Amino acid sequence: MTTVLTYTFKKCTSEWSLRFSIRPLSCSSQLRATETRKTLAKPNIRNIVVVDGVGTPFLLSATLTGLLHQPSVPKEVADYIIFGTVIQEVKTSHVAREAAVGAAFSDKTPAHTVTMACISANQAMTTGVGLIASGQCDVIMAGGVELMFHVPIRQSRKMRKLMLDLSKAKFLNFLAPELPAVSEFSTSETTGHSADELAVSRLEQDEYALRCPSLAKKAQDEGLLSDVVPFKVPGKDTVTKHNGIRPSSLEQMAELKPAFIKPYGTAKAANSSFLTDGASAMLIMAEEKALAMGYKPKECLRDFMYVSHNLKDQLLFRPTYATPKILEKAGLTMSDIDAFEFHKAFSGKILANFKFAQNYMGRKSKVTLLPSEKFNNWGGSLSLKHPFGATGCRLVVAAANRLRKEGGQYALAAACAAGGQGHGMIVEAYAK
């Protein structure tokens, strides 16, 4: 795990250096169009901007390892490094610090690792926002990493006991290792429950899942997934793009069996996110620092909010709870948002969120369905997949890139997390 973050650190610094050296400091015509709309900048509060963000391709297989190119961005620029991860290895439990040192960052640059299930990178990012807003730091590197194909595998309690006391061994069935779970206790139990409760059919889930890889492939073919940096997998070819984008058909999806509730469940491999490796990184700065260094920010990080509710029947409804609250906090409405980037690992969950928002939120005004023409237009987690610790930064970087491409001003990024938690954030295109 440390090697993939080390790679990402080095690659992102060299990538950022190249981008900054050729990027003009004048605003694009698309961004000028947003200047007439109100801004969420607050008086006497620092503007916190995303200068850039990159990530390794989210892989279907092959553990992400590698060394990297000569970095060009001065490493002493970073005041603090924060990375999120979920499945920790004992040898690399403090992966942020170990990766930073491995990437030759100054040993005087502090770093820490956070974990908050699927929103670990979100927590890393917003922790950095707090450090900059409080004046403690000017430059933060934040992100996340996950190696789903290199998870720790424990031996059974009996096997561990055998190692301590071989003389008591009588049977061999306990020699088998305990296979790791891909989710914490509540996710698999409730994945199909919400869809069933809100009458989301298997066909509806398959139809939504069919939309996602088509959008992702179109975005990839048009070169819109520009935050992906290539790397060399030892013993294999250089991976230059997400290799899990696989358009399918309803007929092929119908042949697959349920993943959790058998034999009649609706969640299955075809309408769920598969296991992936991946890492992401963002360079977050105080606006005045970024401009002083000659960088053109992509976006401003504005209001954000964390929410939490019960685990059983509302486990993955956190984006639905976070969305109206964060809009209300920012003084915006759904119609003000130009791009929505929501994380959902299951199509049944996102459709259940839509129905839940309309029927059960109990707010003064109904939470309307998100407009499909603004929602996850470049594929989202169902097609780009979901390395737990890395997804949060991918969402925000995708939102920033979409605003720049489409000429919008505001984007809303939101994600759910195992354990009944969630996060929502408003980002604003940088138009100065």
Positions marked active-site? 118, 386, 416
H/E run at residue 301: strand 299-308
Grouping H, G, I as helix, E, B as strand and the rest as coil, residue 296 is: coil
Strands (E), 234-343: 238-239, 277-286, 299-308, 339-343
Q: 282: which 2 tokens?
A: 């963002």
The answer for residues whose C-beta is within 8 angstroms of residue 14's C-beta and 6 or more apart is 68, 69, 70, 71, 72, 73
H/E run at residue 266: none
Q: 72: which 2 tokens?
A: 């060009």
State the CB neighbour count (10 A cutoff) for residue 200: 23
State the CB neighbour count (10 A cutoff) for residue 178: 12
Residue with tokens 């000028």: 32
Residue with tokens 């980037």: 341
Distance CA 210, CA 370 (A): 18
Q: 190: which 2 tokens?
A: 């409730």
The answer for residues whose C-beta is within 8 angstroms of residue 128's C-beta and 6 or more apart is 80, 82, 137, 140, 141, 142, 284
Distance CA 356, CA 344 (A): 15
